[in-house]
């Protein structure tokens, strides 16, 4: 149990019938009249749905114990991603549905944060940016500039993103894992 005064970003709460909600943002409000309250934006850990919820200040809320561990992606086994715990070397099979959008950026050897609650995997979190190799893209045309248009490129994971015209097949680029945006070239 925690008080609403103890809320912080990333804290996972157990609300309404045992559902798990992660605190995305919060704000303590002390109006001129009336009692203080806490305005929050919560994200459902399993569905990803976000809601705004207001709590009275000082109210007790139930927190969930979420175990976050750094794990290394090992390989695919059908519809399951196999991750290895870097401390214990235990392997964990995670369903593609749980991995979600992170699957577009996973290459063998990549490290990710795996969050679990009572033995159930909640989500897989990647770093904000990863370095991937462009597996296939059309060649640039004479006169292409460093600013301007984009073209589709297929990454080594099979995911397709938009890259600037000057990017060629075989180049290593940095990609934002939250938006699939091209961030820049990686200097070798």
What would the CATH number be for the domain defined by 2-61?
2.30.30.30
Q: Is the dihedral of CA 139, 143, 144, 148 positive or negative?
A: negative
Q: Locate the domains of the chain by residue range.
A: 2-61, 67-125, 129-185
For the stretch 82-133, pLDDT in tens is 999 888 888 999 988 888 888 889 889 999 999 888 888 888 888 889 999 9
> 67-125: same fold as 2-61?
no
CATH architecture of the region 129-185 = Beta Barrel (2.40)
Dihedral (Cα; 18, 19, 24, 28), 10-degree rounding: -40
Fold classification of 67-125 (topology level): OB fold (Dihydrolipoamide Acetyltransferase, E2P) (2.40.50)
pTM exceeding 0.85: no
């Amino acid at each position: 149990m925690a008080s609403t005064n103890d809320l912080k970003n990333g804290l996972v709460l157990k609300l309404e019938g045992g559902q798990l909600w992660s605190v995305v943002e919060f704000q303590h409000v002390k109006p001129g009249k009336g009692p203080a309250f806490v305005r929050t934006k919560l994200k459902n850990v399993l569905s990803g749905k976000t809601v705004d919820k207001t709590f009275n200040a000082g109210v007790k809320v139930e927190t969930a114990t979420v175990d976050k561990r750094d794990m290394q992606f090992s390989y695919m086994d059908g519809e399951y991603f196999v991750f290895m715990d870097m401390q214990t070397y235990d392997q964990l099979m995670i369903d593609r549905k749980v991995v979600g959008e992170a699957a577009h950026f996973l290459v063998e050897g990549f490290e990710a944060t795996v969050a679990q609650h009572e033995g159930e995997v909640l989500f897989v979190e990647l770093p904000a940016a990863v370095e991937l190799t462009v597996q296939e893209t059309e060649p640039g045309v004479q006169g292409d500039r460093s600013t301007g248009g984009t073209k589709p490129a297929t990454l080594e994971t099979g995911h397709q993103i938009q890259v600037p015209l000057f990017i060629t097949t075989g180049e290593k680029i940095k990609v934002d894992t939250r938006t699939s945006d091209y961030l820049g070239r990686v200097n070798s």
